[in-house]
């Protein structure tokens, strides 16, 4: 079982991000990750480069990188460079994008199809040599980049997957399957589906990392206080995913406002409470099949909460 942690969502300075990652490494976490949005103060691959220089063991990763915002050749060079700087510690988590469309500079009509072609081109470019690749979205003729990743055949690719099509692509193409903020039973159902999809194309489901992301996790001296911390972002997430989750959780219709989000859904989908209560909930996801838990955001932000959570998680 492996555990990762996300850098604080509100990074006040680059040095504070690096310091947080160093504490995570000292505490025994297996990875430190960051999201990838233009609204964030620091660009994902750049801040991870700074983390890589100051750490030695902990893996670094994106959870997740916007798969459509960068040209494949530029992305291949940047990630290969980062993998070498980190001495082979990069995990590339990728999604189809959801918040950054205005920054693309082009009309994104087929985000999943484009993301998949980018990943296919990325694997070819990472291998080295001349690459000729043509698809609906871009074309390369005898392109060569000199930056190749240290990990062979390439850094692990984790795919964020909520909808059925993305879940199928993750199982058929990715090295890891990433989802977040759902009850353990639903997560188990997703993993069983992923295993069936992997078998269908001749892949070993046991080699697919089952990654469950928790954002946010709130740790406090009592459950009521922790709930108050997690509730605003929990309600916002559940409203964005109302159509999918309401159906999957057996509700007759999607909730349409923040206030309509059922209290029990927050309890089912999010991890909060004392460190002991948080660890108990984590164990439910491990029993459901998770092989890698990522605490994408730990509240209240700061190393104190991180240490409290780690102390209970690693004690068990």
Q: What are the sequence ranges of the domains in the chain?
A: 2-219+273-313
Coil, helix or strand at residue 309: helix
Query: Cβ contacts of residue 207 below 8 Å, gap of 6+?
Result: 175
Q: Is the pLDDT of residue 18 over 90?
A: yes
Q: Is the pLDDT of residue 223 over 90?
A: yes
Distance of CA 233 to the CA centre of its chain: 17
Long-range CB contacts (< 8 A, 24+ apart) of 138-141? 138/71, 138/72, 140/72, 140/73
Tokens of 77: 């060079």
Q: Is the pLDDT of residue 183 over 90?
A: yes
* Residue 7 confidence class, pLDDT cut points 50, 70, 90: very high
Burial readout 249-258 (b: 16 or more C-beta within 10 A, e: otherwise): beeeeebeee
Q: Is the pLDDT of residue 308 over 90?
A: yes
Q: Is the pLDDT of residue 182 over 90?
A: yes
| pLDDT value, residue 4 | 98
Task: Find the mean pLDDT for residues 134-160.
Answer: 95
| pLDDT value, residue 99 | 78
* Residue 91 confidence class, pLDDT cut points 50, 70, 90: very high
**What is the rounded distance in angstroms from the CA atom of residue 236 to the CA atom of residue 250?**
20
Residue 264 to residues 15, 260, 270, 276, Cα–Cα distance (Å): 39, 11, 10, 20
Task: Find the mean pLDDT for residues 101-118.
Answer: 88
Are the C-beta atoms of 48 and 81 separated by less than 8 Å? no
Q: Is the pLDDT of residue 39 over 90?
A: no
Q: Is the pLDDT of residue 101 over 90?
A: no
* Residue 59 confidence class, pLDDT cut points 50, 70, 90: very high
Are the C-beta atoms of 215 and 299 separated by less than 8 Å? no
* Residue 109 confidence class, pLDDT cut points 50, 70, 90: confident
Residue 136 to residues 110, 117, 143, 173, Cα–Cα distance (Å): 10, 9, 17, 19
| Placement of tokens 């100051």 in the chain | 54
Query: Cβ contacts of residue 14 below 8 Å, gap of 6+?
Result: 42, 47, 50
How long, in residues, is the chain? 316
| pLDDT value, residue 12 | 82
**What is the rounded distance in angstroms from the CA atom of residue 316 to the CA atom of residue 314?**
5
Provide the β-strand partners of residue 176. Answer: 158, 209
CATH superfamily of 2-219+273-313: Luciferase-like domain (3.20.20.30)
Task: Give 249-270 as a DSSP string.
Answer: TT-SS---SGGGS-HHHHHHH-
**What is the rounded distance in angstroms from the CA atom of residue 64 to the CA atom of residue 193?**
22
Task: Find the mean pLDDT for residues 165-177.
Answer: 95
Strands 139-143 and 131-134: antiparallel
Tokens of 122: 């990325």
* Residue 118 confidence class, pLDDT cut points 50, 70, 90: very high
Query: Element (H or E) spanning 302, and its range?
Result: none
**What is the rounded distance in angstroms from the CA atom of residue 178 to the CA atom of residue 231?**
22
* Residue 108 confidence class, pLDDT cut points 50, 70, 90: confident
Q: With the CA atoms of 99, 106, 45 and 151 taken in that order, what torsion angle do they form, in degrees rounded to the nearest 10?
A: 110
**What is the rounded distance in angstroms from the CA atom of residue 297 to the CA atom of residue 270?**
12
| pLDDT value, residue 246 | 96
């Amino acid at each position: 079982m492996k555990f990762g942690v996300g850098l604080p969502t509100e990074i006040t300075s680059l040095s504070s991000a690096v310091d947080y990652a160093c504490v995570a490494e000292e505490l025994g976490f297996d990875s430190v990750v960051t999201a990838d949005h233009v609204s964030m103060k620091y660009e994902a691959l750049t801040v991870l480069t700074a983390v890589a220089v100051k750490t030695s063991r902990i893996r670094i990763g994106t959870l997740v990188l916007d798969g459509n915002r960068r040209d494949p050749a530029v992305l291949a060079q940047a990630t290969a460079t980062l993998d070498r700087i980190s001495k082979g510690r990069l995990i590339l988590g990728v999604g189809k994008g959801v918040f950054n469309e205005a920054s693309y500079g082009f009309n994104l009509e087929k985000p999943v199809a484009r993301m998949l072609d980018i990943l296919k081109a990325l694997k070819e470019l990472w291998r080295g040599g001349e690459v000729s690749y043509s698809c609906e979205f871009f074309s390369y003729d005898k392109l060569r980049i000199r930056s190749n990743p240290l990990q062979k055949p390439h850094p692990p690719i984790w795919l964020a997957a909520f909808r059925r099509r993305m879940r199928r692509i993750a199982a058929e193409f990715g090295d890891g399957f990433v989802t977040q903020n759902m009850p353990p039973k639903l997560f188990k159902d997703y993993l069983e589906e992923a295993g069936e999809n992997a078998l269908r194309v001749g892949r070993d489901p046991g080699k697919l990392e089952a990654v469950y992301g928790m954002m946010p996790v709130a740790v406090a001296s009592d459950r009521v206080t922790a709930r108050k911390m997690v509730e605003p972002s929990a309600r916002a997430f559940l409203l964005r995913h109302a159509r999918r989750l309401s159906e999957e959780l057996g509700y007759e219709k999607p909730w349409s406002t923040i206030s309509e989000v059922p209290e029990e859904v927050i309890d089912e989908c999010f991890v909060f409470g004392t460190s002991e209560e948080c660890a108990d909930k984590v164990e439910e996801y491990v029993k459901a099949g998770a092989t890698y838990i990522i605490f994408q955001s730990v509240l209240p932000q700061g190393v104190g909460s991180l240490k409290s959570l780690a102390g209970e998680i690693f004690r068990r």
